[in-house]
Amino acid sequence: MYAFGSRGNTGPNFNLLLLIISQLGLHTVEGVWPLPQALASSAERYSLNPQAFDFAYGKRSAAQQGCSVLDAAFKRYFTLIFQDYTSGRWNTGLETFSQLVYQDDSGSYFVNKTEIDDFPRFQFRGILLDTSRHYLPVQAILKTLDAMAYSKFNVLHWHIVDDPSFPYQSYTFPDLSSKGAFHPVTHIYTQSEVRRVISFARLWGIRVLPEFDSPGHTKSWGKGQSNLLTPCYRGGTPSGTFGPINPVLPSTYQFMERLFKEVSSLFPDSYIHLGGDEVDFSCWRSNPTVRSFMQKMRFGVDFTKLQAFYMENSLSVVEVWREGCYLCEVRKVTKAGLRVILASPWYLDQAGPKHNWARYYSVWPLAFKGSEEQKKLVIGGEVCMWGEYVDATNLAPRLWPRASAAAERLWSDEKQTSSVAKAFPRLQDFRCMLLRRGIQAEPLTIGHCQHEYLGV
Amino acid sequence: MYAFGSRGNTGPNFNLLLLIISQLGLHTVEGVWPLPQALASSAERYSLNPQAFDFAYGKRSAAQQGCSVLDAAFKRYFTLIFQDYTSGRWNTGLETFSQLVYQDDSGSYFVNKTEIDDFPRFQFRGILLDTSRHYLPVQAILKTLDAMAYSKFNVLHWHIVDDPSFPYQSYTFPDLSSKGAFHPVTHIYTQSEVRRVISFARLWGIRVLPEFDSPGHTKSWGKGQSNLLTPCYRGGTPSGTFGPINPVLPSTYQFMERLFKEVSSLFPDSYIHLGGDEVDFSCWRSNPTVRSFMQKMRFGVDFTKLQAFYMENSLSVVEVWREGCYLCEVRKVTKAGLRVILASPWYLDQAGPKHNWARYYSVWPLAFKGSEEQKKLVIGGEVCMWGEYVDATNLAPRLWPRASAAAERLWSDEKQTSSVAKAFPRLQDFRCMLLRRGIQAEPLTIGHCQHEYLGV
């Protein structure tokens, strides 16, 4: 058998899987999630013998013998496919293949003759994890990466720090976590733990995009770095409280430069997400030093100019992400020539009957009036799992399988996947497969899976 | 030290815990959940040495040497209290005591001098688990019993069968589960598994109240028992579909008698819940045999009379539970002289920001206009975890700690526990304790616990 694959994080992925094996009987698998761009399945089935089964590099494949990511993936997917034979992973082509293998009642493995031509609709398919509002143990992050790969997500947007806590252990500024984390030892991510997450993700074909949100959302930063936050004033005197990062001090920019130098050397991804959202200007406005700086810079009373000054001066790499009402906002932003990653329709930290999978499936990223050029600026989307009410206890069932609904929207052809009713049985099957692979994916409706979740 | 306890399932529980040990220092534990009726804590603290620690029967205690439930509880609570020393369970008095023990930074165990006088406000404090809409593995039920005891729940209302599946394996009618369960082997409860649940619950002081809902909610019953359900008619001929249990055939009552004889011998509890809710009369109405039976019985067109006939004739023990708008309905039912168990305000299968713990805490079971006699008829309440969207993957985080909010309402003095704001830090502490004991209780808000959930 032949597996052709190319890891494509920057350009569009292209995976072609052609299966030619000895023929057998009837039967077929319900489907593959997310749906490949083209899948022609036949009733011809081939028996797979785990003892004789092997993966091989296609002659025309860009990747050849010795590719560590693919070799590791072969090993993982062997276990995933032949779970009963062994007792769990690579690229999206292997994921598709693994979903096509099934067992008969006697436990023998089969795959039907299938031709697949596949590539992702959007290049950016992310999940945001928030490790500041609640600390997520590394094990929970790794488990999420497993499940992300099963749904062909390729970006972990790690919202690592925020107001409540600073769990990132910086070697340049160790006080940031020793004073700003929930606990200086048990509730931090050491450099080696971060590296472990990154290398684990890499083997799954997943980028790790760190976010260090500033100048707002930085309360926890102030605990370990004095003179970083703006002292707020009340009635002409300091009130004892602090606001956003202080944009008027040169020391601020020296600090940010050193921090981001460290962060960008640790995270191999070419992007760092810089937040810049929800900045409360009232504290800046109250501070007389900030006000005189505004005058000196001729910003008048427009604090957005001060924020822009801060963003430009503190940062070397900037990627602007816009969120909001997903059709009007996308239209506006693409019209301005900016690239867009859709997040607002996929805030999965919300639970309840209105926030079901069908809601997240029925998102149409390109259904706005705009030119072809504008539509090309929509590079993808991400599922946001904000941490106010989410930690390791409920992360998995809140993410899965609802995030998988968003994943199919980001991967598959919209015309083939516009029907909630048609998707339903495939997603139910996919959810059962997640359970079988140990992912605590919650049920969609009344029913059962052959292998129920037993990890209680 | 002395522990006085009496298991009180029928009458009100009364637990008195008096701690007199060698004195030491300062410090205190945040609190106990649910709040005891009277708790006077002092700053005097006593050191607890696990190697010398023992439980003993109080001289005035109703239970004496050789009580297997208490002996087992002593053993379990020893492990729960001294988790680091060993690496645990019984009665509510022991639960309270276990929550008062704390460790200093060096790992030594302490308890402050504390006098407690306690008893439950309501005798019936239940949780409904639905094992028909989704099958819950026995392990998930046992884990729920653990967590129930920690919150002083004392009734597991086991909604064991319903329309979607019949997982109870009857030895009298084995076809009920072999044909009516989701799977005849993997998705059933054998007699020995049911006995295991009952005896496990007993050691926790928890009753197991089985529910076999009829005559409606019985679609799964019909798969393994022919001629049990009413054939529905359309246009004068059988439509091929079936409705509620057929109330006009003598064979129905013979079947029900034999089934309930078996069930009541397996479940030691003196009550069996018989449902009787949401009966759809349209199928009965369509059936000519049922209509002529109605005429013969002079029921006219009042199908509630037929339902009453069914309930009276098929059943030997009946307990009527009423649910609904919890103040008007409770008033109405108690006025009729019937006992009430409150369930409607505690449908915890619902998720989302509106369904938070504070909503379930702010339930006032006796805040209706009525006589003292009426109020005494409110014997308790129960948390309902219906299974449409719940299985073992999300049961625990959906139950805990929200069910604990209801538990305090059912156990503690309402005057002392009317403030959501005051309860909040205690419930946060309690939730962290649940995590430490391995219960996957979800977070209430932003923050952390010393021991996060690691079972991913």
- β-pairing, A109-118 vs A38-48, is antiparallel
Query: Which residues of chain B are within 8 Å of residue A137 when distances are taken between CB atoms?
Result: 452-454, 456
Q: What is the pLDDT of residues B277-311, one digit of tens each?
A: 888 899 999 999 999 999 999 999 999 999 989 98
- The larger pLDDT score, comparing residue A82 to residue A419, is at A419
CA-nearest of B285, B448, B401, B340 to B33 is: B401
Amino acid at B396: A
**Which of A66-70, A125-129, A303-307, B143-147 comes out lowest in average pLDDT?**
A66-70
pLDDT given for residue B54 in this prediction: 84
Q: How confident is the model at residue B51 (pLDDT cuts 50, 70, 90)?
A: confident
Report pLDDT for A92.
Answer: 65
B127 with B383: CB under 8 angstroms? yes
Radius of gyration of chain A (CA): 24
Confidence of residue A15 (pLDDT cuts 50, 70, 90): very low
B17: left (phi over 0), alpha (psi -120 to 50) or beta: beta
pLDDT of B315 reads: 58
**How confident is the model over A95-122, as pLDDT tens digits?**
888 888 888 888 888 888 888 889 999 9
Residue A49 main-chain phi, psi, to 5 deg: -105, 110
Distance of alpha carbon A303 from alpha carbon A299, whole angstroms: 7
d(CA B284, CA B123): 39
Phi/psi-derived region of residue B227, left when phi > 0, alpha when psi is between -120 and 50, beta in every other case: left
Burial of A175 (0-12, 13-18, 19+ CB in 10 A): middle
> What percent of chain B has a predicted confidence (pLDDT) above 90?
59
Q: What is the mean pLDDT of residues B334-361?
A: 88
CA gap B345, B365 in Å, rounded: 9
Residue B27: pLDDT above 60?
no
Average pLDDT over residues B360-385: 94
Query: Span B242-261, mean pLDDT?
Result: 94
What's the pLDDT band for B198 if we cut at 50, 70, 90?
very high
What is the reported pLDDT for B325? 64
Which residues of chain B does A452 touch, with a Cβ-Cβ cutoff of 8 Å? 135, 137, 186-187, 391-392
Query: CA-CA distance, B181 to B189, in Å (whole number)?
Result: 10
Instruction: Express as a percent the part of chain A with pLDDT over 90.
Output: 59
Q: Which of B349, B391, B428, B435 to mutate to test the interface with A (most CBs of A within 10 A)?
A: B391
Query: Which amino acid is residue B350, in one-letter code?
Result: Q
What mean pLDDT is predicted for residues B402-430? Answer: 96
pLDDT at B320: 40
CA distances (Å), origin A449, targets A32, A428, A433, B391: 17, 9, 9, 11
3-state SS class at B452 = coil
Residue B318's pLDDT is: 36
The whole-number average pLDDT for the span B182-195 is 95
Residues paired with A384 in a beta bridge:
A128, A347
Cα–Cα separations (whole angstroms), residue A46 to A5, A17, A81, B161: 22, 15, 15, 41
Q: Does the pLDDT at position B265 exceed 90?
A: yes
| Range A12-24 average pLDDT | 37
| Rg of chain B over all Cα atoms, to the nearest angstrom | 24
Is the model's pLDDT at A253 over the cut of 70? yes
DSSP string, A222-267: HHHSTT-EEEEEETTEEEEEEEEE-TT-HHHHHHHHHHHHHHHHH-
Lowest mean pLDDT among A129-143, B6-20, B182-196, B379-393: B6-20
Indicate whether B331 pLDDT > 50.
yes
pLDDT at residue B140, rounded to an integer: 97
pLDDT of residue B272: 83
Segment A48-62 mean pLDDT: 84
B82, burial (CB in 10 Å: exposed 0-12, middle 13-18, buried 19+): buried
Whether residue A153 is predicted with pLDDT greater than 90 in this model: the reply is yes
Segment among A232-246, A418-432, B234-248, B301-315 with least mean pLDDT: B301-315
Q: Residue A315's pLDDT is what?
A: 58
pLDDT band of residue A60 (cuts 50, 70, 90) is confident
Q: Average pLDDT in the A306-323 region?
A: 66
**pLDDT at B116 (0 to 100):** 86
- Domain residue spans in chain B? 38-117, 124-437
Residue A7: per-residue pLDDT: 30
Peptide bond into B34 cis (omega under 30): yes
Residue A33 · residue A404 · CB < 8 Å: yes
Q: Answer yes or no: is pLDDT of B119 > 80.
A: yes
Which is more confidently placed, B193 or B78?
A: B193
Q: Is the pLDDT of residue B329 over 90?
A: no
Mean pLDDT of chain B, nearest integer: 86
What is the C-alpha to C-alpha distance for residues A68 and A261, in angstroms, rounded to an integer?
28
Is the predicted ipTM greater than 0.90, yes or no? no
**Of chain A residues 299-328, which have a CB less than 8 A from chain B?**
none
Whether residue A133 and residue B353 make contact (CB cut-off 8 A), yes or no, is no
Tell me: pLDDT of A6 over 50: no
Residue A189 has pLDDT above 70, yes or no: yes
In 3D, which of B234, B312, B244, B313 has the Cα closest to residue B277? B244
Residue A115 is among the residues annotated as catalytic for this protein: no
Residue B65 neighbours by CB distance under 10 Å: 8
Return the closest-CA partner of residue B210 out of B135, B140, B128.
B128
Closest CA to A322 of A304, A347, A341: A341
Whether residue A25 is predicted with pLDDT greater than 50 in this model: the reply is no
Interface A-B: count of C-beta contacts within 8 A: 137
Cβ–Cβ gap B355/A355 under 8 Å = no
- The share of chain B scoring above pLDDT 70, in percent, equals 89
Chain B contact present for A107, CB below 8 A:
no
Q: Say if residues B33 and B99 touch (Cβ distance below 8 Å).
A: yes
The pLDDT assigned to A21 comes to 36
Q: At what angle do helices B138-150 and B191-203 cross, to 10 degrees?
A: 10
Q: Which of A39-43, A112-116, A313-317, A388-392 has the lowest mean pLDDT?
A: A313-317
User: Which has the higher per-residue pLDDT, B40 or A360?
Assistant: A360
Higher per-residue confidence, A100 vs B444: B444
Span B38-117 CATH architecture: 2-Layer Sandwich (3.30)
Q: What is the pLDDT of residues A257-296, one digit of tens each?
A: 999 999 999 999 878 888 888 888 999 999 999 999 999 9
pLDDT band at B169 (very low <50, low <70, confident <90, very high): very high
Residue B26 has pLDDT above 80, yes or no: no
Task: Give the C-alpha separation, A160 to A167, whole Å.
Answer: 7
Across the interface, whether the CB atoms of B134 and A389 are under 8 A apart is answered: no
Span B425-438, average pLDDT: 95
Contact list in A for residue B183 (CB cut-off 8 A) is 448, 450
Identify which has the larger pLDDT, B153 or A105. Answer: B153
How far apart, in whole angstroms, are the C-alpha atoms of residue A384 and residue A341?
A: 12
Chain B CB within 8 Å of residue A394 CB: yes
In the set A95, A193, A278, A312, the catalytic residue is A278
Q: A341: which 2 tokens?
A: 């990653």
Tell me: pLDDT of A16 over 60. Answer: no
CATH of domain B124-437: 3.20.20.80
A182 contacts chain B (CB < 8 A): yes
Spell out which residues of chain B touch residue A135, defining contact as CB-CB under 8 Å. Answer: 448, 452
Tokens linked to B263 = 């069930």
Between the CA of residue A155 and those of A205, A320, A346, B189, B449, what are the distances in Å?
9, 16, 15, 43, 29
Q: Over pLDDT 70: what percentage of chain A?
A: 89
SS3 A156: strand
* pLDDT per residue as tens digits for the range A362-375: 999 999 999 999 99
> Which of A140, A350, A454 minimises the CB distance to B137?
A454
CA distances from A172 to A261, A265, A426 (A): 10, 12, 49
Nearest to A398 by CA among B396, B129, B429: B396
Average of pLDDT values for A13-37? 53
Query: What average pLDDT is seen over chain A?
Result: 86
Instruction: Determine how many CB atoms are found less than 10 A away from the CB of residue A202.
Output: 18
**Which has more pLDDT, A444 or B351?**
A444
Distance of alpha carbon B80 from alpha carbon B101, whole angstroms: 10
For the range B229-232, what are the long-range contacts, defined as Cβ-Cβ under 8 Å and sequence gap of 24 or more? B230/B283, B230/B284, B230/B287, B230/B290, B231/B287, B232/B282, B232/B283, B232/B286, B232/B287
Please report the residues numbered 24 through 53 in chain A whose beta carbons come closer than 8 angstroms to any beta carbon of chain B. Answer: none
Residue B345 has what pLDDT? 86
Beta carbons of B227 and B248 less than 8 angstroms apart: no
Q: Are B161 and B105 in contact (CB under 8 A)?
A: no
pLDDT tier at B437, thresholds 50, 70, 90? very high
Contact at 8 Å (CB) between B147 and B80? no
Q: How confident is the model at residue A223 (pLDDT cuts 50, 70, 90)?
A: very high
Asked whether the beta carbons of residue B393 and residue A397 sit closer than 8 angstroms, the reply is yes
